[in-house]
Chain A
Amino acid sequence: MGILKHLSLVLILMLGEISPGVALAQVDVSEYELKAAFVYQFATYAEWPPEAFESDDTPLRFGVLGSQVMANNLEMLVEGQRLNGRPAEVRLLQQGDSLAGLHVLFISSGEQAAALLAEAPVRPLLTVTETEPERWPPGSMINLQVVDEHVRFDVALPATNAAGLRLSARLLQVAQRVLPSP
């Protein structure tokens, strides 16, 4: 990694634009900037089965359903970065778009996540939603919420296991709630 890129990332983090260690109110950071950072980090703690990638150079693809802001924020983070040794790219999806080739899927609160996920075939795809906890749909692996102006997340291990994904225990450690595998 070049020194310029390294410096730029440090600068971004240091400027606090997406600094996760602070509450939303404290710094003037938008909710989706923070959530984009979370999704980005989730990818770093996740491990896909080998068949999820065609080759070693196959980029890690983020899919954002129903949120232009989120897609833009993610795009900013991902640009020029390599995630788990791979390049990354972000796609903004519409209802009905194919989910094939995606590795991470963010479904914004405006979408019918439950229905979508119910229809979707089981594949190694890390699904992230942002619903009320009580309406956390089955098939969503990570659910983001805002608690006391802090972004928190829950993890459902049965879903990840079913999809053949593995999440790092370190990630689970900082999860607010973890649904254990059966």
Chain B
Amino acid sequence: MRTFRYIRSKLLALVLVATFCALFVACGIFLWYDINTYRNATIADAQAQVELLSYTTLPALQFGDERVARENLELLSLKPGVEAAAIYNAQGQVFVSFSRDATVQIPPLLPEISGTRIGNDRVDVYGRITDSDAILGTVWLSESYQPLSRALEFITILSVTALVAMTAAALVAFWMQAVITKPIHAIARIARDVVARKQYTQRAVKLSEDEVGLLVDAFNEMLAEIETRTTALEDSNHELEREIAARTEATTKIQQLNEELEEKVHQRTLELRVANQELESFCYSVSHDLRAPLRSISGFSQALLEELPTELPEGNRHYLERIIAASYRMGQLIEDLLNLSRVSRVGLQPQSVNLTDMVWEVLNVLQNRHPNQVVDLSVWKSMTVQADPKLLRIVLENLLDNAWKFSSEQEKPQIVVGMTKDGAHATYFVRDNGAGFDMKYADKLFAPFQRLHAAHEFPGTGIGLVTVQRIVHRHGGRIWFDAALGAGATFYFTLGPGGGHHETAGS
């Protein structure tokens, strides 16, 4: 409906179509009615004329007076519709006749048909002239009957009427459409204005109480709603802005605090490192310095024992031996402490190490040290790691020494060294079937000088695992374990970051 883009065009079309339909139907009915009426009127008129003629010409026929009959007949010339008429005598011959013009043929003899006959352009009516049941003659009358030309005439008039009516309707509709479209235009103008200027305080003026009035009401309600919403939204926006500002401020503060904290942490770490280094160097120098007097104690006790093998009473000998053993243990402790501090101090020199070979080397040393022990040894082949070989050897020595030591009481001691791989990260383990320990003491395992077993049960200084942990940590790895009392222990460690699934319990 591109042609009816505007309401006024639609209204105009509506009015014209409605008018046309109404006129068309009305005209159709009128036409039908008129043609029907015309036909009936024509027939009735002709029949009435015939009746009249037959009555008035009866005496003329009775007395054979053609003049009077003709006079009667010629009066028909006053009636425009009558084309021709004739009176026949009882023998069916023309008595008198009348014809408006020469074109109409008067039948010379009475046709056999009687009554009313409707032709294309005329109506023929035959009426008997009777006198007390005796037929004296017949009147024939032909009246013009032209429904087509009448219909054409009628249609012409109706067309002109319709044209005038539709023009009038169009003019009225054109004038009336302003009443409908004007308020709509007003609404549209305000709507555009509202959109353009974001002014929601405007209102359309209600000009009528009809549907357009409803539209105006709805539009105004909508505007009011939008205004309310917009105000609410603006308020909420302001609130939000305030909140955001507050949060930003808080965040800035937190950041500042964090920075300060980091700064503090950094400072403390530095302080701690310095303190640690001082402590370690102190520990080293103490240990180092302790060795000389210890060597004297041990050496002189040994010398005393060797030079006076018999003079000393048995008890004194025993004291000396205790002194020597204690000195030895102390030497061990010092050695381990030095190792520990060395582990912390020396620089890391990682390289590719054949772990399998190194494990075997350490195990051979252990086997040589305990030639009478038969231990089932199992080491996985072709294990290579990236590590500092000296430190790695310390790790292996400690772990394997522990394994050897704690499984020595078993009937069939067993040590397994292997690895598991989780993607690129390898986890190595050392497992024995020795005495094991209760996991509830696990947190003491990596603390220095803490031992789970009595010295007479399993000798040791309590520093080994601390050293191992420190080395693993220095390599960026982790160490943990799994054990049960009497069911052996397994130590796991990784070298390098990643891998493992079990945080170490010790510190």
Interfacial residues of chain B within 37-64, with CB under 8 A of chain A in the complex: 56, 58-64
Interfacial residues of chain B within 128-171, with CB under 8 A of chain A in the complex: 131-137
Q: Which of B87-95, B240-248, B409-417, B435-443 contacts A (4 or more CB under 8 A)?
A: B87-95
Interfacial residues of chain A within 145-180, with CB under 8 A of chain B in the complex: 150-153, 168, 170-171, 173-174
Q: Is A20 an interface residue (CB 8 A)?
A: yes
Interfacial residues of chain A within 77-123, with CB under 8 A of chain B in the complex: none
A168 to B59, CA, bound (A): 10
Q: Is B68 an interface residue (CB 8 A)?
A: yes
Q: Is A32 an interface residue (CB 8 A)?
A: no
Q: Is A6 an interface residue (CB 8 A)?
A: yes
Q: A21-B89, A151-B64, A174-B63 are in contact. Are A13 and B136 (CB under 8 A)?
A: yes
Q: Is B65 an interface residue (CB 8 A)?
A: yes
Q: Is A41 an interface residue (CB 8 A)?
A: yes
Interfacial residues of chain B within 161-195, with CB under 8 A of chain A in the complex: none
A26 to B166, CA, bound (A): 70
Contacting residues, chain B, for A22 (C-beta < 8 A): 64, 89
Write the nearest CB–CB distance from A100 to chain B, whole angstroms. Answer: 29
Are A173 and B134 interface neighbours, CB within 8 A? no
Interfacial residues of chain A within 6-27, with CB under 8 A of chain B in the complex: 6, 9-10, 13-14, 16, 19-23
Contacting residues, chain B, for A6 (C-beta < 8 A): 133-134
A153 to B63, CA, bound (A): 9
Contact of A21 among B90, B133, B134 (CB under 8 A): B90
Contacting residues, chain A, for B91 (C-beta < 8 A): 14, 16, 19
Closest to B65 in A: A174
**Residue with the highest number of chain A CB atoms closer than 10 Å, among B61, B91, B95:** B91
Closest to B72 in A: A173
Q: Is A53 an interface residue (CB 8 A)?
A: no
Contacting residues, chain B, for A45 (C-beta < 8 A): 59
Are B89 and A19 interface neighbours, CB within 8 A? yes
Write the nearest CB–CB distance from A55 to chain B, whole angstroms. Answer: 22
Interfacial residues of chain B within 83-103, with CB under 8 A of chain A in the complex: 89-91, 95
Give the number of A-B contacts (CB < 8 Å): 62
Write the nearest CB–CB distance from B133 to chain A, whole angstroms. Answer: 5
Closest to A82 in B: B132
Are B62 and A13 interface neighbours, CB within 8 A? no
Are A13 and B90 interface neighbours, CB within 8 A? yes
Contacting residues, chain B, for A41 (C-beta < 8 A): 59, 62-63
Are B137 and A21 interface neighbours, CB within 8 A? yes
Write the nearest CB–CB distance from B333 to chain A, whole angstroms. Answer: 175
Contacting residues, chain A, for B68 (C-beta < 8 A): 173-174
Are B60 and A14 interface neighbours, CB within 8 A? no
Q: A6-B134, A9-B134, A13-B90 are in contact. Are A21 and B64 (CB under 8 A)?
A: yes
Write the nearest CB–CB distance from B88 to chain A, whole angstroms. Answer: 9
Contact of A20 among B61, B132, B133 (CB under 8 A): B61
Write the nearest CB–CB distance from B54 to chain A, whole angstroms. Answer: 12
A9 to B131, CA, bound (A): 11
Contacting residues, chain A, for B133 (C-beta < 8 A): 1, 6, 9-10
A38 to B60, CA, bound (A): 11
Are A14 and B90 interface neighbours, CB within 8 A? yes
A21 to B66, CA, bound (A): 8
Are A173 and B64 interface neighbours, CB within 8 A? no
Q: A6-B133, A173-B68 are in contact. Are A21 and B61 (CB under 8 A)?
A: yes
A151 to B63, CA, bound (A): 8
Contacting residues, chain A, for B61 (C-beta < 8 A): 20-21
CB 8 Å contact bits of B178-221 with A (1 = contact, 0 = none) = 00000000000000000000000000000000000000000000
A10 to B90, CA, bound (A): 9
Write the nearest CB–CB distance from B135 to chain A, whole angstroms. Answer: 6
Are A150 and B134 interface neighbours, CB within 8 A? no
A150 to B63, CA, bound (A): 9
A21 to B70, CA, bound (A): 13
A22 to B95, CA, bound (A): 8
Write the nearest CB–CB distance from B97 to chain A, whole angstroms. Answer: 13
A45 to B131, CA, bound (A): 12
Write the nearest CB–CB distance from B216 to chain A, whole angstroms. Answer: 83
Contacting residues, chain A, for B59 (C-beta < 8 A): 41, 45, 168, 170-171, 173-174
Write the nearest CB–CB distance from B197 to chain A, whole angstroms. Answer: 99
Contacting residues, chain A, for B135 (C-beta < 8 A): 10, 13-14
Complex A-B: 21 CB contacts under 8 Å: A6-B134, A10-B134, A13-B90, A14-B135, A16-B91, A19-B64, A19-B89, A21-B137, A22-B89, A23-B64, A41-B63, A150-B64, A151-B63, A151-B64, A168-B59, A171-B59, A173-B59, A173-B60, A174-B59, A174-B60, A174-B68
Given A14-B91, A16-B90, A21-B137, 17 more pairs with CB closer than 8 A: A1-B132, A10-B133, A10-B135, A13-B135, A13-B136, A19-B90, A20-B62, A21-B95, A22-B64, A22-B89, A41-B62, A151-B63, A151-B64, A170-B56, A173-B68, A174-B60, A174-B62
Query: Closest 6 CB pairs between A and B?
Result: A20-B64, A21-B89, A174-B65, A174-B59, A170-B59, A174-B63
CB within 8 Å of A: which residues of B?
A: 56, 58-65, 68, 89-91, 95, 131-137
